[in-house]
Amino acid sequence: MSSQPILRFAPSPNGHLHLGHAYSALFTWRAAAEIGGVALLRIEDTDVTRCKPEFAQAIMEDLAWLGLSWPEPVLHQSSRFPIYAQKAAELAARDLLYPCFCSRSEIAAAATARDPDGAPLYPGTCRHLSEAEIAERLKRGDPVQYRLKSDRAIALAGPLYFRVAQPDVTAPVETRVAHPELWGDVVLQRKGTPTSYHLSVVIDDDAQGVTHVTRGRDMEAATDFHVLLQALLGLASPIYTFHELILDADGKKLSKSRESESLRALRAAGWSADDVRRHLGFA
C-alpha cells in the first residue's frame, strides 16, 4: 500500500487570493515537501451564488505565479453535488437531520449563546415543528436548510478524538478530545444547496485520501465538528496542523473583499513572487 502523505490547499473562488492565502498555500506546499508528500489543489465552490469560475482561474494563475504546482485534474466541489446529497440522505435516513426555515435575523433574535466563531448559536427553534407544519412549509416552497440533530449525533458517535501535529506536520502527533457540542445543530445543507462547507470538506478529504490537513487557526474550532461528521459517515480523519494567520496593520484577518490586498494588486504594484515568499517568511 502506498503511504505517500497527501495534503491539500482548498480555497473558495469567491474573490482573489491575498497574502493570507499565499501563506496557507506556501505552508501546505512546504509541509508536503518536508514529509515527502504531495499537495493537491481543491476548489471549494459549493456556494454557487458567490463562487465564480473566473476566480478559480485566477487562483490557479496566482498559485502558479508563486511557483507552486499540483496534480491535475483539480477537484471542483461543484461537480460533486450528487455525492454530497447522497451522504446527507444517509444522515437523514438515520434521523439525524431536520429542516430549518429560520432566517439569519430570526436566529440572531432568538439565540442566547454563541458558537466558537462568535456567531449566534442556533436555539433549535425548528426542531419543534410538527410534521404537518413542516409539510405545509415545504409545500409552500419556503426556503429550507437542513441541520444536524447534534445531541443525537454526538450520543451515537460516542467519545471523539482527533490527531494534531503542532506547530508543523513534522511535530509528534498528539491526540485531542473533540468538542462538537460547542457548535450545536450545524447546517449541513444550505438553502438551495445539497451541501455545506462542513459536509463537503470531510467527504472530499476522505475521497482524496488526504492524510494531513494544514489550515489556519481560524479553522481550529470547526475541526471539532468535522471530527463528528467523519465519525458519523465512516470517513477517515486526517492529522491536523493549524498555522498562524496573516493579519493586516490593524490586527484583523485579511479579507477577500479588500481587493487592494490581493496578490494580483501586489503583483501590479511591482512585487515579485520572491518578495511575497520573503515577506511571509518562506524565502
Contacts to ligand GLU by CB under 6 A: 10-12, 44, 201, 215, 219
| Cα dist from 26 to 44, 59, 98, 201, whole Å | 18, 14, 40, 20
Nearer to ligand GLU among residue 79 and residue 103 (C-beta): 79
Q: How far is the CB of 78 from ligand GLU (least distance, A)?
A: 13
Q: Residue 241 corresponds to which amino acid?
A: T
Report the residue number, 10 or 96, with the smaller CB distance to ligand GLU: 10
Q: Give the nearer residue to ligand GLU in terms of CB position, either 88 or 210.
A: 210
CB of 200 to ligand GLU, least distance (A): 9
Burial class (CB in 10 A: 0-12, 13-18, 19+), 36: exposed
CA distances from 162 to 27, 127, 213, 226, 236 (A): 21, 29, 12, 10, 10
Closest distance of CB 77 from ligand GLU, Å: 9
- Nearest CB to ligand GLU, comparing residues 147 and 212: 212
**Cα(82)–Cα(200) distance, integer angstroms:** 11
Q: Which is nearer to ligand GLU, 129 or 221 (CB)?
A: 221
Name residues whose C-beta falls within 8 Å of residue 91's C-beta, 6 or more positions apart in sequence.
97, 148, 188, 232, 233
* Distance in Å, CB of 154 to ligand GLU, minimum: 21
Q: To the nearest whole angstrom, how small is the minimum distance from the Cβ of residue 162 to ligand GLU?
A: 14
Q: Are 44 and 203 within 8 A, CB to CB?
A: no
